[in-house]
Chains A and B, each alone.
Chain A
Amino acid sequence: MAGRALKRLMTEYKQLTLNPPEGIIAGPTNEENFFEWEALIMGPEGTCFECGVFPAKLIFPPDYPLSPPKMQFTCEMFHPNIYPDGRVCISILHAPGDDPMGYESSAERWSPVQSVEKILLSVVSMLAEPNDESSANVDAAKMWRDDRDQFNRIAERLVRKTLNLPYP
């Protein structure tokens, strides 16, 4: 009998493989260790991140799903809710009780009801609609508010970078 966390991660992996949500691919980096996942997220259509394919890694705690995983983009990102080092700051990834930004109600926090799929879908919607109330990247938040054109240009550069396209 494998550990509870492992079993649940295997279940989720099977689920994600059998019927993957659109624009999201995720799975363990190495099938010997189910607690480190890789995910590829397509930039949502109609946003400045459209067409981009953004790689990220997910690190699960030993007591998953009681505690939330950590998520970090492994490519360069410029977004109000992503720290400059790639860590994602959304409420679903925070356990109730710890509130680094102080803006979130506990209703949208982590609970075992959440799943990898829900996290990734939240990240997709976060890419589409940044939440500039709790900003992990102040520069990006400011630019998103004040200078949307510049923000879009940077986003396009990042998108091209993830696709290995030259930036004009």
Chain B
Amino acid sequence: MPAPMPVGALTMASFALTAAVIGNAYYQKKQFYPSVVYITKSNPSMAAIYLLAFTMVILLGKLLKKVFFGALRAAEFEHLIERSFYAVTETCLAFTVFRDDFSPKFVALFTVLLFLKTFHWLADYRVDFMERSPVITLLFHVRVTCLLLLLSLLDLVLVNHAYHSTITRGASVQLVFGFEYAILLTVALNIGVKYVCHTVDLQSENPWENKAMYLLYTELCMGFVKVVLYAVFMIIMIRIHTFPLFIIRPMYLTMRSFKRALNDVILSRRAIRNMNTLYPDATPEELRAVDNVCIICREEMLTGAKKLPCGHIFHASCLRSWFQRQQTCPTCRMDILRQPPPAQGGAAGAAAAARNAQQPPTPPAQPQTPQPQQQQRQAQQQMPNPFAGLFAGMPMPVGPPPVGLPPFPFPPMPMHQAQQQQAAAASASASTTEAGTSSSTTTTSTSTSSSASSTGQAGGAIPTAPFNMLPPLFPLLPFNIPPPPPPLNFAAMTEDEVRQLEGNERQHVEARIKVLRNIQTLLDAAVVQMNQYASVVASLDMNSQSIPRNATPQQAGATESASAPEPSSSQAAEPMVGAAADRANSRDPDSLKEATSVTSNDEAARSEVTSSTSVAASPSSLSSTTTTSASADTSTPDELHPDSPQEIRRRRLERFTQNT
């Protein structure tokens, strides 16, 4: 403990002074009682006596500190000094209200209060320290137990004293003391509960999962009691005296911590609920597949592990405490709230419905147009993963079918491309094409004429479409504000709820149209990809390993820019209807390149749509698409290094096509 010298000097000085005062009095009066009377009548003598008393109190405090705490750590001492400063200022402010009561007795009471306060704080630090130190001795337990009992007892006695004094003699400064001790009593209780929790936890072999929860609730209860105490005290003070300025700061701090505790409780309850309902337990096989260590606590996971939608596995308890801070996966930072796992879509849908049901009901403004909306919803529903939904089968397996409407009204659309396709991939791409046309039809039924041209292209088998349409449309894909996940199951909802869920405002319709257009573009790209891929595979008759199916976006951009200067692909809007297929059939190396670039383009696009709800994932692919568009638009000749992997791959592909 620093500053032993001033205390030592003070002790010496006060003892010397007191000795001098007593000696002087005895020298003058020669007898005991007259000396005492003389000392009490003389102000300087009394000052010396007070000084001695003060010194004695400090020494006693130091002794008690030695007994209960031993040496203080530097951090503890710093905290103590800081908090004492505030305590002293506030109590001095309190005394200005009760300045009539000011007397040595109250100074003494005030000193006692300050000492008790510091002891409470120190006890708090020490109990918190239990969680930090690997060595907790028996002495520690004895000290903390005795201290807590003593402090609670003292608080009780002093509260009682203040109460009786106020009752019998009316409001005085005792009111302030009684209130302060009541607060301290709650603090002592809180520390006691904490201590018991920590001790129980230390004794048990396994981690005590609910400890944090108990501590949180204790904090909440004590916070509530304190807030009530402050409120009562404030009301009493305002009625008796004036506005108690000195409790503003502690009251504010208490309310803030109460609010925080409340918030923590809510967040942790939500985390627990999510944990129990949304995320499956990790199976032993999954645990074995990963290296079995929880990245949060760095310990082995044996039981109670949970698997997040992104596939990362953690201890349920670790995850719970993390979710109180942030609703993201600790490893990949995926936002877990924005991406309800597909298995639990029903629950999420119900939640969304409940959310929507809370909004004031908006009766449909145009009752004559519910049918397109139904279609749009179906399309929108598949938005998170349009391909999975589309390839799975045409009649949607969800909910009641739209009233009086076939699932997918096919308009008479020309489907040349189905005939052009090679047999290898015919069935798969056919379904894609159908889906593409149907969704584009849906768009045309509600949207403006601008989409008509694109629809025509989509119907007309369209290799150019991706090149002309992708660049402007792709930046739209990663929504800045992702729409709420649509429910997967409408069976549990009434007709009205469904209608409310839909929304009839202009922005909703526009958003829907935008989504539909994006899907359409994607489908167009997919069709082109499948066409070209199938034809290339068939014509080359080789195993698909040689084709860089999963070319990275950068490679796509490079390959595309390599092929851009060639006249065939730079003719943009022209009748590319059969061009790609023709070129593919004529074994032109360009078509290969284009096929690969479209493939990768489309893969980037697909990944964007499937993860369109997680904004964080998109920037890289977004930038890649913009790069692609830039290079395609400006037709810059490539300056690829001859040894770069793209160049090597290009050369290899050329050789390949020449050989066959």
Interface of A with B (CB < 8 Å)? 1-8, 10-12, 31-35, 62-63, 65-67, 95-97, 106-107, 111-113
Contacts and interface: CB of A to CB of B under 8 A. Distances in A.
A125 B83 CA distance: 39
Contacts of A95: 325
A11 B293 CA distance: 12
Contacts of A106: 333, 616
A2 B202 contact: yes
Interface string B96-132: 0000000000000000000000000000000011111
Given A32-B135, A33-B133, 12 more contacts: A1-B207, A3-B198, A3-B201, A6-B134, A7-B297, A65-B297, A96-B326, A107-B333, A112-B295, A112-B296, A112-B322, A113-B295
Contacts of B322: 66, 112
A111 B205 CA distance: 28
Contacts of B134: 2, 6, 10, 31-32, 34
A67 B324 CA distance: 12
Q: 6 shortest A-B CB distances, which residue pairs?
A: A3-B131, A112-B296, A11-B298, A112-B330, A35-B132, A111-B330
A62 B321 CA distance: 13
A3 B325 CA distance: 18
Contact of A3 (B73, B132, B295, B326): B132
A113 B206 contact: no
A63 B321 CA distance: 9
29 contacts: A1-B204, A1-B205, A2-B134, A3-B131, A3-B132, A3-B198, A4-B207, A4-B297, A4-B318, A5-B132, A6-B132, A10-B134, A11-B299, A12-B298, A31-B135, A32-B133, A33-B73, A33-B129, A33-B132, A33-B133, A34-B132, A62-B128, A63-B321, A65-B296, A65-B297, A66-B322, A96-B328, A111-B331, A112-B330
Central interface residue in B205, B296, B331, by most chain A CB within 10 Å: B296
B132 A62 contact: yes
Interface string B317-350: 0100110111010110100000000000000000
Interface residues of B, number: 34
Contacts of B299: 7-8, 11
Contact of B133 (A4, A11, A34, A113): A34
Nearest to B202: A1
B479 to A, nearest CB: 19
| A interface, over-half SS | loop
Interface of B: 73, 128-135, 198, 201-208, 295-299, 318, 321-322, 324-326, 328, 330-331, 333, 616
A1 B326 CA distance: 26
Contacts of A10: 134
A111 B208 contact: no
A11 B616 CA distance: 32
A2 B413 CA distance: 70
Central interface residue in A63, A67, A107, by most chain B CB within 10 Å: A63
Contacts of A33: 73, 129, 132-133
A6 B330 CA distance: 19
A97 B73 CA distance: 32
| B interface, over-half SS | loop
A97 B198 CA distance: 30
A1 B333 contact: no
Contact of A1 (B201, B321, B324): B201
A10 B297 CA distance: 11
A113 B326 contact: no
A10 B131 CA distance: 12
Contacts of A5: 131-132
A117 to B, nearest CB: 11
A62 B297 contact: no
A119 B135 CA distance: 27
A108 to B, nearest CB: 10
A11 B295 CA distance: 12
Contacts of B132: 3, 5-6, 33-35, 62
Contacts of A113: 295, 330-331
A112 B315 CA distance: 13
A3 B198 CA distance: 8
A107 to B, nearest CB: 6
Nearest to A11: B298
Contacts of B616: 106-107
Given A5-B132, A31-B134, A32-B133, A66 B297 contact: no
A52 B208 CA distance: 45
Contacts of B203: 1
Nearest to B315: A4
A1 B208 contact: yes
A36 B296 CA distance: 20
Central interface residue in B132, B206, B326, B616, by most chain A CB within 10 Å: B132
Central interface residue in B198, B202, B297, by most chain A CB within 10 Å: B297
Central interface residue in B134, B331, B333, B616, by most chain A CB within 10 Å: B134
Nearest to A31: B134
A63 B202 CA distance: 17
A66 B330 CA distance: 9
B329 to A, nearest CB: 9
A8 B298 contact: yes
A66 B207 contact: no
A12 B296 CA distance: 12
A53 to B, nearest CB: 24
Contacts of A34: 132-134
Contacts of B325: 66-67, 95
Nearest to B128: A62
A124 to B, nearest CB: 22
Given A1-B206, A96-B326, A111-B333, A6 B298 contact: no
A93 to B, nearest CB: 15
A8 B294 CA distance: 11
Contacts of A1: 201-208
A5 B318 CA distance: 11
Nearest to B326: A96
B131 A62 contact: yes
A107 B324 CA distance: 19
Contacts of B333: 106-107, 111
A107 B618 CA distance: 13
Nearest to A5: B131
Contacts of A107: 333, 616
Nearest to B73: A33
A123 to B, nearest CB: 21
A2 B206 CA distance: 9
A67 B206 CA distance: 24
A156 B632 CA distance: 51
